[in-house]
Amino acid sequence: MTASSPSLLHRLKRLSLVTQIVIGLIAGIALALIAPDMAKSTAFIGKVFVSALKAVAPILVFVLVMASIANHKHGQETHIRPILFLYLLGTFAAAVVAVVASMTFPSNLVLSTQDVAVTAPGGIGEVLQSLLLSVVDNPVSALMNANFIGILAWAIGMGIAIRHAGNTTREVLGDLSNGVTVIVRVVIRFAPLGIFGLVASTLATSGFGALIGYAHLLAVLLGCMLFVALVMNPLIVFWKLRRNPYPLVLTCLRESGITAFFTRSSAANIPVNLELSKRLGLHEDTYSVSIPLGATINMAGAAITITVLTLAAVHTLGIAVDIPTAILLSVVAAICACGASGVAGGSLLLIPLACSLFGIPSEIAMQVVAVGFIIGVLQDSAETALNSSTDVLFTAAACLGEEQKAERLA
């Protein structure tokens, strides 16, 4: 027995991270079915893993973006603009899919009087003011509170300033970036154990009984997200690369989407996406900026959630709405959603704002938010998986597309 144990551990260690995560997933489901009480106690393991990811993500983004910009050589090509275009195009396409699905398969909500303690924005102006305040936030406060908009602003500013410093200063910054990256890799290696705890405790505590009453709404939401992930996004990547997009699409879903599904936080999944971008051979100066930026503004899943839930409320209340107005709603809501991105359930906070565009009072809108939290076991997980995996997908598509363009011109 003593001789076989190291051999078994060695075999597990040699498996790919994705395979280890799948094993952790299956083990978590099995434990929840066989011993629910024991499974509930594993919640601590999942919390530790997610907390570790959230703890390392802000400092990683700050140091990596700052070092990338500081060490950027003059004349060296980056591809941020085409990535931003793909982010916006993907979000708009997801909004259109959500509108069409909501009109084709309208959902009815049972609006209860359940109270949900959340603070929703009062209007578009308030959201934009909040975004501006986030940009000029104190850097220490931004790091402590995981304000990624403020972190990005300070990292970019410091990186530009340090570009004019001596070589030694920039080398130290590069070494610091490498050191933080090593810590992140150690945290990511514990993903199978963390996901085991998250799955086991979630299934044992919540189960899926609460979701049965909202099966139709969930089907529309998840159907939209699957359609965007497996049809719309591949079409966008094919348009950019003119080749079979599915190997890249499935790689991003498998290696980024799985962890994002269970951590339910785009911010917590930033280290995973940075590691995947490196393994895909993408340019570090590009992905070190585009990945944290995507966790803030690339909101295809949020656009679907806000649009579908808002139009479900509209249909339930019998409010007439035409397709152009619905598309305008989803675009406005998705743009504003960047102020609530990066955290579990962030998109639900924008539902009252979206509902206000149709004159729906806040009392009813907050009931829709309550419905969102009820189905959040699957909705928020799928939304985060779509958002986060698309960050890597569009970054890779833009980088590879620009490389192909350069080869044709050469």
Are 153 and 362 contacting, i.e. CB atoms less than 8 angstroms apart? Answer: no
pLDDT of residue 195: 79
pLDDT of residue 4: 46
State the maximum Cα–Cα separation within the chain, in Å, rounded to a whole number.
Answer: 71
106: three-class secondary structure by DSSP? coil
- Residue 70 vs residues 90, 156, 308, 368: alpha-carbon distances, Å: 30, 9, 42, 46
Q: Is the pLDDT of residue 253 over 70?
A: yes
pLDDT digits (tens, 9 = 90+) for 95-139: 889 988 988 898 887 664 344 344 444 555 655 676 678 788 888
Could you tell me the residue range of the domain that residue 222 belongs to? Answer: 4-409
Are 228 and 253 contacting, i.e. CB atoms less than 8 angstroms apart? Answer: no
In this structure, what CATH number is given to the domain that contains residue 204? 1.10.3860.10
Residue type, 141: S
Where residue 281 falls (left for φ over 0; alpha for ψ -120 to 50; beta otherwise) is left
CB-side neighbour CA atoms (13 Å) of 216:
11
For residues 54-75, average pLDDT: 75
How many whole angstroms separate alpha carbon 156 and alpha carbon 332? 27
Are 371 and 365 contacting, i.e. CB atoms less than 8 angstroms apart? Answer: no
pLDDT of residue 101: 92
Task: Look up the pTM and report it.
Answer: 0.72
Are 301 and 221 contacting, i.e. CB atoms less than 8 angstroms apart? Answer: no
A 10 A CB-CB count for 376 gives: 19
Nearest CA-CA partner of 282 in 404, 398, 188, 174: 398
Q: Is the pLDDT of residue 392 over 90?
A: yes
pLDDT digits (tens, 9 = 90+) for 17-28: 667 777 887 888
**Given the structure tokens 């980088």, which residue do they identify?**
399
For residues 28-46, average pLDDT: 85
How many whole angstroms separate alpha carbon 327 and alpha carbon 333? 10
Are 75 and 197 contacting, i.e. CB atoms less than 8 angstroms apart? Answer: no
How many whole angstroms separate alpha carbon 399 and alpha carbon 278? 12
**234 is written with which tokens?**
């591949």
**Given the structure tokens 């104190």, which residue do they identify?**
138
Ranking 187-191, 271-275, 299-303, 307-311 by mean pLDDT, the lowest is 187-191
Nearest CA-CA partner of 316 in 277, 375, 365, 270: 365
pLDDT of residue 3: 47
For residues 274-280, average pLDDT: 90
Residue partners of 84: CB distance under 8 A and separation at least 6: 293
Confidence of residue 77 (pLDDT cuts 50, 70, 90): low
Express the helix, strand and coil content of the chain in percent, nearest 5 each: 80, 0, 20
**70 is written with which tokens?**
């500081």
How many whole angstroms separate alpha carbon 30 and alpha carbon 26? 6
Confidence of residue 76 (pLDDT cuts 50, 70, 90): low
- Percent of the chain at pLDDT > 90 equals 14
A 10 A CB-CB count for 176 gives: 15
- Residue 187 vs residues 26, 51, 181, 183: alpha-carbon distances, Å: 21, 10, 10, 6
Q: Is the pLDDT of residue 233 over 90?
A: yes
pLDDT of residue 177: 80
pLDDT of residue 410: 64
Rounded to the nearest integer, the mean pLDDT of the chain is 79
Residue partners of 275: CB distance under 8 A and separation at least 6: 184, 185, 188
30-54 in b/e burial notation, b at 16+ Cβ within 10 A?
ebbeeeeeebbebbebbeebbebbb
Nearest CA-CA partner of 299 in 128, 98, 55: 98
Confidence of residue 236 (pLDDT cuts 50, 70, 90): very high
Confidence of residue 341 (pLDDT cuts 50, 70, 90): very low
pLDDT digits (tens, 9 = 90+) for 134-176: 788 888 888 887 777 788 788 888 888 888 888 888 888 888 8
Are 399 and 286 contacting, i.e. CB atoms less than 8 angstroms apart? Answer: yes
Nearest CA-CA partner of 263 in 7, 62, 59, 21: 21
Nearest CA-CA partner of 379 in 186, 387, 201, 173: 387
Number of domains observed in the structure of the chain: 1
pLDDT of residue 235: 96
